[in-house]
Amino acid sequence: MGTSFFSQGAVIHKQSHRIYMRFTVRNGWLIEFFEDDMRTQLPRTVRFIDSSKIFEMHERWGADRCAGSVDALIRAIKAGRGGVWLQLTIEQYRKLLK
């Protein structure tokens, strides 16, 4: 589990993990996941037949689900590539590491 340190020395355990989900059209939709630094790729990738799963993931775990982010997601899907930030539980994040 991730930890954060206060200046007083107290420790907080993170309840969630922020990752970047990148998607590209390649024989369906190729989905790749990256750490918060956007450079470190996580080992798990997935493929979807259509973009509805991308919308579903954004709806369930999207870090920013305002109307503007949905519009940006629609534009990215129409362009055939893009990405969104997701906020996952620690257990969900660990599954991406396998």
9 within domain boundaries? no
Residues whose CB falls within 8 Å of the CB of residue 86, separated by 6 or more in sequence, listed in order? 18, 19, 20, 21, 57, 58, 61, 62, 63
Say if 3 falls within a structural domain: no
Question: What's the pLDDT score for residue 31?
Answer: 97
**20, 85 Cβ separation under 8 angstroms:** yes
Predicted local distance difference test score (pLDDT) of residue 1: 45
**59 phi/psi in degrees, rounded to 5:** -65, -40
Q: Is residue 35 part of a domain?
A: yes
Per-residue confidence (pLDDT) for residue 9, from 0 to 100: 53
- Look at residue 91 and tell me if it is in a domain: yes
Q: How many CB atoms are located within 10 Å of the residue 83 CB?
A: 19
4, part of any domain: no
Residue 62 is given by DSSP the state B
Q: What is the span of the domain harbouring residue 24?
A: 15-96
pLDDT on residue 64:
80
Say what the pLDDT of residue 45 is: 95
Where the chain has pLDDT below 70, the residues are: 1-14
